[in-house]
Chains A and B, each alone.
Chain A
Amino acid sequence: MTASPSETPESPPSSDGRTVLDDRDIARALTRIAHEILERNRGGRDLVLLGIPSRGVPLARRIAERIAAVEGFDVPVGSLDVTMYRDDLRLKPARTLMPTDIPAGGVDGKVVVLVDDVLFSGRTIRSALDALNDVGRPAAVRLAVLVDRGHRELPIRADFVGKNLPTSLVERVKVRVADTDGVDAVTIEGEGDGQ
C-alpha cells in the first residue's frame, strides 16, 4: 500500500513551523522510552510493540531495536490500524485502510505497548483499544507516544512520553520520521486545524 496520508508533506523539510525536537532529541527520547518500558516490565519478556499507522509503526520498530540492543533478543513488533474503529468514521469520506500486522505469537497474555506519534484528544487510542479487543486479550496494555500535546477529550493517558508539549488548539504538531519523510523532526505550525 502506498501510504500517503494527507499530513505527509509533498516536499521534504519545508521548514515552516518551529522545530521542537530534532533527530537527536527524538533518538534520545526513544532510547529513554525503551529503557522505561523495560524497567516497568522488568525486562523484555512477553512484550509486544504495536505501532499505530502511519508514524507509530516506524517509531515502534525503533524502540524495539533499542530494546533488542539492551536485552539481546528481539521483541515482536507489529502494526494496528484503527481506521474502522474511529468514532468519526461516518463524518468523513471513507478512509484508506492502513496495514494491520499482528506478530505471529499473537497478543494473548502479552504486555502490549501501543506506540503512536502524537497523543492529542485520545480518540485514536480509544479506537486502538477497541481494535485490540478484536485481536486478542493482552495481559496489559501500555501506551508510548513521542509527543503528548494535551487537550484530552477522553480519560486516557500515556505511560511513556517522549516530550510533553503544551500547545494551543489552533497549533498543528507535525511529526516526521526518516522512514517515511526522509527526516526526523517534530515541528509546530501556528495555523491549521490540529490533528
Chain B
Amino acid sequence: MKRHLLSAADLTRDDAELVLTTAAEMRALADRPIKKLPALRGRTVVNLFFEDSTRTRISFEAAAKRLSADVINFAAKGSSLSKGESLKDTALTLEAMGADAVVVRHGSSGAPHRLAHSGWVRSSVVNAGDGTHEHPTQALLDAFTMWTHLGESKPGGLEGRRVAIVGDVLHSRVARSNALLLRTLGAEVTLVAPPTLLPVGIESWPVETSYDLDAVIPKADAVMMLRVQRERMNGGFFPTPREYSRRYGLDARRMATLQDHTIVMHPGPMVRGMEITADVADSPRSVIVEQVTNGVAVRMAVLYLLLGGSEPAVGATEGEE
C-alpha cells in the first residue's frame, strides 16, 4: 500500500497491523463527547459510487467527517454518470475539483485500479468494492473485529486463528479480500460453499476449501456468513433456497456446535432465514452490529494513514520526532 488501497494484497503484515492499531485509537473516539479529530482539515474526500451501497458510503462519509475532511458524494443515479459519461471524464472532473482521495465503488472488477494507475487523477484511490473482485476496507474491519475479540488487540493476535467463510464465495469480493488479508495476518481460512459457488482458480488462493459446514465450524474461532447474492445469479447454483439453508445456513443447531469463544460475523446486508437464522443473528455470539461501528474506525484509520501526512504512512518508516 503506497498511495492507494486497491487490494487487501497491497498490505504487508506491518501495514495491516498499523491499520488495526490505528483503528483501535479511532474506535476509542466513538466513546468521547466530541467525536471529531482535526487530522484531515482542508482535505477533500470524494465518495464516487457507481453502484448503490448505502452502508459503505455512509461509513466512509462518517469516517472522513470525523477526521474533519470535506466530503463530496458522487452517486451514479441522477448524475452525469447515468448520462453516459466515461470513467475518465468523471476522474478528470474530480481532479479539477481538487480531490485528495477518491473512494470508489464500481460494478466492474478493476475499475479502481484503472482510476489509480491511468494518470487521470493525482489523488489517493480507495477501493470500496469493485465487482466480484475486492473490498479491502471490509476485510480490514472484519479483521479488526476478530482481532479485538480473539487477538487481545495485540500485534500477531490472529496468528493461527481459524476462520470459516461460508456461502456465496463466487460472487463475494468480501471473501477474496478477507482470505488475502487474514492469511497476511497469520490466520487460517477455510472457505465453505457448494461447488457451484466457489470460483474457478480457488486452488491458487491461500485457503482451504470444504463442502461440509458441519465438519468445519466446530474448529473455527470465527464464522463469517456471506449473503447469497441472488441479483448476480442467472443460473441454477443450488436447487432451492430451502436446500441451501439446510446445508449452508447457520441456525441454532449448528451454533450449538461452536466453541464457547467463537464469534459469528456477517458483512451485511443479511438475508435472515437464508444464510443465517434470526436467533443466530441476534445471539450474543453475533458481532454483526459491532462490525458496522468498527467499519467507521477502520476507514478513519485508512484515510488518516493515506492522507494524514505528507506521504502515506503505510509502508513508509517513521520520521524523527
Residues of A within 8 A of B (CB): 1-2, 5-7, 81, 84-85, 89-102, 130, 134-136, 193, 195
Cβ-defined partner of A135 (8 Å) among B34, B39, B318: B34
Chain A residues with Cβ below 8 Å from B321 are 5-7, 195
Interfacial chain B residues near A91, Cβ < 8 Å: 309-310
* The residue from A95, A134, A195 contacting B36, defined by CB atoms under 8 A apart: A134
Question: Within the complex, which residue of A84, A98, A134 is in contact with B32, where a contact is CB–CB below 8 Å?
Answer: A134
B21 within 8 A of A: yes
| Contact among B36, B309, B316 for A90, CB-based, below 8 A | B309
* CB-CB nearest in chain B for A127: B38
Partner of A100, one of B28, B38, B319: B28
- Which of B32, B307, B312, B316 counts the most A-chain CB atoms under 10 A from its CB? B32
Q: A2-B155, A135-B32, A136-B33 are in contact. Are A92 and B25 (CB under 8 A)?
A: no
Main secondary structure of the interface of A (DSSP, over half): loop
Taking CB atoms, residues of chain B closer than 8 Å to A101 are 28
Return chain B residues, CB-CB under 8 Å to A84. Answer: 37-39, 304, 308
Whether B18 sits at the interface, judged by CB under 8 Å, is yes
Closest CB in chain A relative to B286 CB, distance in Å? 28
Contact check, B310 vs A93: say whether CB atoms are below 8 A apart. Answer: yes
* Known contacts A6-B318, A100-B25; A94/B32 CB under 8 A: no
**CB neighbours of B310 from chain A (8 A):** 90-93
Option from A93, A98, A135 in Cβ contact (under 8 Å) with B319: A93
CB<8 Å pairs between A and B, sample of 13: A81-B25, A84-B38, A84-B304, A84-B308, A89-B309, A92-B319, A93-B312, A93-B318, A95-B308, A96-B21, A97-B22, A134-B34, A134-B37
Q: Which of A6, A89, A94 contacts B320 (CB 8 A)?
A: A6
CB distance from B214 to the nearest CB of A (A): 39
The one of B26, B36, B39 in contact with A89, judged by C-beta atoms closer than 8 angstroms, is: B39
Give the complex CA separation of A193 and B36 in angstroms: 33
Q: How many inter-chain residue pairs (CB < 8 Å) link A and B?
A: 79
A94 and B305 alpha carbons, distance in the complex (Å)? 6
Bound complex: CA A28 to CA B307 (Å): 44
- The smallest beta-carbon distance between A121 and chain B, in angstroms, is 12
CA distance A98 to B21 in the complex (A): 9
Expressed in whole angstroms, the minimum distance between the Cβ of A169 and any Cβ of chain B is: 15
| Min CB–CB distance A157 → chain B (angstroms) | 21
Residues in A with CB closer than 8 Å to B28 are: 100-101
Q: Which residues of B contact A134 (CB under 8 A)?
A: 32, 34, 36-37
Q: Which residues from chain B contact A96 at a C-beta distance below 8 Å?
A: 18, 21-22, 313, 318
Name A193's closest neighbour in chain B (CB-CB): B320
Instruction: Check A93 against B311 for contact (C-beta < 8 Å).
Output: yes
Q: Which residue of A lies closest to B39 (CB)?
A: A84
Residues of A within 8 A of B316 (CB): 93
Provide the bound-state CA to CA distance between A49 and B80, in Å: 55
13 further contact pairs, Cβ within 8 A, besides A90-B309, A93-B309, A93-B318: A6-B318, A7-B320, A84-B39, A92-B309, A93-B319, A94-B307, A95-B309, A96-B21, A97-B22, A100-B28, A101-B28, A135-B32, A135-B33
Q: State A90–B32 Cα separation when bound (angstroms).
A: 25
CB contact list, B289-321 vs A, under 8 A: 304-314, 316-321
Known: A6-B321, A85-B38, A100-B28. A93 touches B33 (CB 8 A): no
Residues on A with beta carbons closer than 8 Å to the beta carbon of B304? 84, 94, 97
CB distance from A153 to the nearest CB of B (A): 16
Interface members, chain B 25-52 (any A CB < 8 Å): 25-26, 28, 32-34, 36-39
Chain B residues closer than 8 Å to A136, beta-carbon distance: 33
